[in-house]
Amino acid sequence: DTAVSQTPKYLVTQMGNDKSIKCEQNLGHDTMYWYKQDSKKFLKIMFSYNNKELIINETVPNRFSPKSPDKAHLNLHINSLELGDSAVYFCASSLNRGWDEQFFGPGTRLTVL
C-alpha cells in the first residue's frame, strides 16, 4: 500500500490557469509538508501543517494556497499559474512536528506552457 500518494503525477497546463494537486498519507502521521524542487534539483519547503494547523509558511506567492481538510490530506491550489511555477512538487509527512524522518510522495511534475 502506498504510504504518501499524490495526484496527478504529471500536470501540463497553460499560463494563467488554476490547478490543484492532492496529497494523502495513510501512515497516521500528524504533520504534512509541501516542497518545491526546481530544475536545478533544489528542494525547498513551502508549507507545513500539523494536525490541520498551518505551522510553516515560507515566502511563497499568495497564489499558492494549501488546504488540509483532515490530518491525512494536504492539498495545494495554485492560482494564475506562471512559467516559473514549473517544477516538481513533493508532498511529505512525518509522525509529528518533532520528527526524525519524513516520508515523501512520488512527486507531481508541473509544466506551465
Partner 1 sequence: GQNIDQPTEMTATEGAIVQINCTYQTSGFNGLFWYQQHAGEAPTFLSYNVLDGLEEKGRFSSFLSRSKGYSYLLLKELQMKDSASYLCAVRSDPGAGSYQLTFGKGTKLSVIP
The answer to whether residue 1 forms part of the interface with partner 1 (CB under 8 A) is no
Binding partner 1 by CB under 8 A: which of 16, 43, 80, 113?
43
* Between 28 and 40, CB nearer to partner 1: 40
Q: Are 22 and 80 in contact (CB under 8 A)?
A: no
Q: Give residues 56-75 in contact with partner 1 (rule: CB under 8 A).
A: 56
43 within 8 A of 35, measured Cβ to Cβ? yes
Q: Does residue 27 belong to the site contacting partner 1 (CB under 8 A)?
A: no
